[in-house]
Amino acid sequence: MPLVRVDIQQNPDPDFAKRIGEHIYAALRSCIDVPEHDNFQILTEHDSQHFVYDPQYLGIQRSDGVVFIQITISEGRTVEKKQLLFKTIAESLHTQLAVRLEDVFINLVEVKKENWSFGNGIAQYVT
């Protein structure tokens, strides 16, 4: 069960953040075998005063179009699957939404399965 958070600067296109989320979900399904309907996202737009980033950290030249993506998932995927996920998301956002590759910032957070409750106050993955 991934929980996806996307943060961008305010965009004139009211559907832009939602379209980013759609591409991320497609990549999650194809790269790390996320099942259908397992789609939980928080999409947030910020004004420039509440959106801080370093424009050249690690020699990567970022712009105001930077997209912060944080994905919380259950642990257990291989490094190769994670790398494929990062690449697929970045390339999809670049080719489909004209987001610069340099502006795709992804943070993957892995947690143990017992740390999820999908509702009803129950840890559904605990057996």
Distances in Å between the Cα of 78 and the Cα atoms of 3, 43, 89, 113, 124 are 18, 27, 17, 16, 23
Catalytic annotation present for 2: yes
How confident is the model at residue 90, as a pLDDT?
Answer: 98
Residue showing tokens 């340099």: 102
Dihedral, 111, 42, 97, 85 alpha carbons, nearest 10: 10
Output the six-digit token pair for 64.
Answer: 């105001």
65: left (phi over 0), alpha (psi -120 to 50) or beta: alpha
Predicted structure pTM score: 0.93
How confident is the model at residue 46, as a pLDDT?
Answer: 97
Per-residue pLDDT of the chain (127 residues; tens, 9 = 90+): 899 999 999 999 999 999 999 999 999 999 999 999 999 999 999 999 999 999 999 999 999 999 999 999 999 999 999 999 999 999 999 999 999 999 999 999 999 989 988 898 989 888 7
